[in-house]
Amino acid sequence: MNMKKLANALIPDGDLLSPEEYEEIYPPRNLPKGVEVTRLAPSPTGFIHLGNLYSALADERVAHTTGGVFYLRIEDTDEKRKVDGAVESVIRSLKYFGIRFDEGAEINSSLNNYGPYYQRQREKIYKSFVKKLLEEGLAYPCFCTAEELDAVRASQTKSKETTGYYGKYAKCRNLTEEEIYDNIKAGKPYVIRLKSQGSIDNKITFRDAIKGDITVTENDQDVVILKSDGIPTYHFAHAIDDHFMRTTLVIRGEEWLSSLPIHLELHKVLGFNPPKYAHTSSLMKMDGDTKRKLSKRKDPELSLDYYRQAGYYPQAVVKYLMTVLNSNFEEWTLKNPDGDYKDFKFKIDKMGKSGALFDLEKLNDVSKTEISKLSAEECYAFLKGWVDEFGSEVDKSHFKEDGYLLKILTLIIGIGGKKRRKDIERAEQGVRLFDYFFDDTFDPDYSYRFDKATVNMVLDKFAAVYDTGDDNSEWFAKVKAIAPEVGFASEMSEYKSHPENFKGSVSDVAEILRIAITGSPNSPDLCTIMRILGKSRTVARLLKGKI
RNA sequence: GGCCCUGUGGUCAAGCGGUUAAGACGGAGCCCUCUCAAGGCUCAAUCCCGGGUUCGAUUCCCGGCAGGGUCACCA
């Protein structure tokens, strides 16, 4: 059979460049040893999720801690899954979490020497290599219809054989020259398949950067490399693109592990050195009593918008992910509480081999300690940003009173105290902490633990003596002074040694005041709250709190 | 079902043949204290099971079991 003629018939020459020319156009990047080139290669299906962020973070960290390059490639080979604006959305989402690309699709960079970065625009490159394989007899056209393939698969399943297009099932492998040309002439649609040289009797061991040595059987499937629309499949595009974009380390989900033999064979047949691979275990979630992969449909927490809407501090999400990605990161954080996570030495081989359960409680903890490191101004800006986008009209009106709000915030986050408070976990919950400072959101629950006479007496007496000018100790002295008048102990020690002699203690006096002022038995420093509220509002609330 | 990956407290996990089996989140308690938060201290809780190898296995080997992944002209 004249392969050259066949290759020409299948892939008309047009203006294809030769494989050698592509090697020249995309020369190896001139980088020192140890420097890694990584990439994020999403399909433009719309939104990017937590799993993408997780893997993007690993890619970005590896590239940037080694002084390498992190680029964005768009895998748009599946027309059906394309969504408009998806690429911008990917870039925007990652940027929100502080992750930037050095190169790639829609990235403005002088480094963009390895494009185009959209696979649909790389058709000629792929075809040049498909043609080469055709000429070498390492690929062939297949005219089987979907129905035929389904039927074969059904019978294979029934007889418990391995499914797929291989060996004796690879019908079109043996088509005569005449049959092929007849089919082409008849206008039958066709795909190009790899003529696999592998055998399942051969084992190959390769080293995964995360999982270590993995032994797999060679690929013997005549996989499709070029679809009937002339666009390559993922497998083929991966081999070509990661070779010519000179990726050194491919980090991807472990769901790809099983197609690794295909990729290895493709690289071999194409004459490429395969990149290093790191297969990451995916984020899991507890469903009933079994673990399962986080799912786009069922789990809202997979969407990155979920975190924006809930008002998580973006860096907290990143740091949480870092703790999952590299277990020694947390230890490092403890030693370097104020350190930038980018100074941490990220190691790909420190990544967990098994899928981690996504732990929302831990995220919450990371988030509140992250927020507790912010200055009052930074925290204010963060909360205001959230309110502007997701807050109610009432929230927005509160945020117009900058000075007042900043005072409250200083109290809530505990600036000035020995240690910062960690009350704000995320913006959505944090802004609610301001509610009792504004009359329109003050929603008290007057559940006093004492009788009416006692409560009202405490409230009246304190309203009569309160003065905004009091400092903390003067204020507390006044609270103490009321205690004996209502039969309470003014010293805690007194109360503790003889509780039977008293109806309550100073702390109970404070509780009554606190409920009247804030509407709840718990709050930060009451004295400061009253001062922020001001005398008239304080007194009004004390009197309003009477029952 | 075939093939591949994984298996240390409730969760994330250190560990690489001999350890009182780290640490963090969560839980319980105590201290501090005008309450809460924060902080400090303390406690409870783990090596999937069975065989080997070895003086000795959480660690190495084999076999189970369990969980996950994958078997497309989707990526």
Average pLDDT, chain A: 92
CA A278, C1' B21: Å apart?
Answer: 30
DSSP per-residue letters across A237-295: HHHHHHHHTT-SEEEEEGGGGGGHHHHHHHHHHHTPPP-EEEEEPPPEEEETTEEEE--
CA A140, chain centre distance (Å): 41
C1' nearest to CA of A224: which nucleotide? B73
| Collapsed DSSP state (helix, strand, coil) of residue A520 | coil
Which residues sit opposite A213 in a β-bridge? A207
CA A369, C1' B40: Å apart?
Answer: 17
Position A84 pLDDT exceeds 90: no
Q: Which secondary-structure segment (H or E) carries A158?
A: helix A146-158
DSSP category for residue A29: P
Catalytic residue among A82, A296, A422, A535: A296
DSSP per-residue letters across A315-358: HHHHHHHHHHH-THHHHHHHH-TT--GGGS---GGGS-SSPPBP
C1' nearest to CA of A359: which nucleotide? B11
Position A152 pLDDT exceeds 90: yes
Please, which positions of strand B sit below 7 A from a protein CB?
1-8, 10-14, 22-26, 34-39, 67-75
pLDDT of A46 reads: 65
Position A47 pLDDT exceeds 90: no
Tell me the Cα Rg of chain A: 33
C1' nearest to CA of A509: which nucleotide? B34
pLDDT of A494 reads: 83
Percent of chain A with pLDDT over 90: 75
| Collapsed DSSP state (helix, strand, coil) of residue A85 | coil
By CB neighbour count within 10 A (0-12 exposed, 13-18 middle, 19+ buried), where does A296 fall?
middle
Q: A539 or A495: which carries more pLDDT confidence? A: A539
Cα A454 from Cα A452, distance rounded (Å): 6
C1' nearest to CA of A357: which nucleotide? B11
Q: A207-217: per-residue pLDDT in tens?
A: 999 998 898 99
pLDDT of A545 reads: 94
Q: A460-519: per-residue pLDDT in tens?
A: 999 999 999 999 999 999 999 999 999 999 888 888 878 888 899 999 999 999 999 999
C1' nearest to CA of A226: which nucleotide? B73
Q: Which secondary-structure segment (H or E) carries A224?
A: strand A224-226
Cα A98 from Cα A82, distance rounded (Å): 26
pLDDT of A244 reads: 98
Distances (CA, A) of A66 to A61, A164, A316, A323, A324: 8, 41, 23, 20, 20
Position A150 pLDDT exceeds 80: yes
Cα A482 from Cα A504, distance rounded (Å): 12
Report which residue is nearest nucleotide B6 when distances run from CA to C1'. A354
pLDDT of A288 reads: 66
CA A426, C1' B39: Å apart?
Answer: 21
- Name the one residue in this structure whose structure tokens are 């403005």: A108
Q: In the predicted model, what is the mean pLDDT of residues A159-179?
A: 93
Q: Are A71 and A117 in contact (CB under 8 A)?
A: yes
Q: Are A399 and A428 in contact (CB under 8 A)?
A: no
CA A59, C1' B2: Å apart?
Answer: 33
Place A289 in a pLDDT band, splitting at 50, 70 and 90.
low
pLDDT of A497 reads: 79
Q: Are A35 and A67 in contact (CB under 8 A)?
A: yes
Cα A130 from Cα A190, distance rounded (Å): 14
pLDDT of A13 reads: 74
Report which residue is nearest nucleotide B4 when distances run from CA to C1'. A258
Cα A88 from Cα A92, distance rounded (Å): 6
CA A221, C1' B52: Å apart?
Answer: 39
Q: A411-464: per-residue pLDDT in tens?
A: 999 988 888 999 999 999 999 999 999 999 999 999 999 999 999 999 999 999
| Residue A76: other Cβ atoms inside 10 A | 21
Active site residue A188: no
CA A234, C1' B75: Å apart?
Answer: 6
C1' nearest to CA of A364: which nucleotide? B25
Its pTM stands at 0.91
Would you state the structure tokens that stand for residue A260, as one six-digit string?
A: 């690794």
Report which residue is nearest nucleotide B26 when distances run from CA to C1'. A361
Position A70 pLDDT exceeds 90: yes
Question: Max Cα separation, chain A?
Answer: 111
Q: Which of A196, A186, A80 is nearest to A143 (CA)?
A: A186
Q: In the predicted model, what is the mean pLDDT of residues A269-279?
A: 96
Which residues sit opposite A203 in a β-bridge? A217
Place A1 in a pLDDT band, splitting at 50, 70 and 90.
confident
Least confident of A60-69, A137-146, A173-182, A333-342: A333-342
Q: Which of A280, A157, A264 is nearest to A221 (CA)?
A: A264
CA A355, C1' B2: Å apart?
Answer: 23
Which residues sit opposite A212 in a β-bridge? A208
Q: Is the ipTM of this complex over 0.90?
A: yes
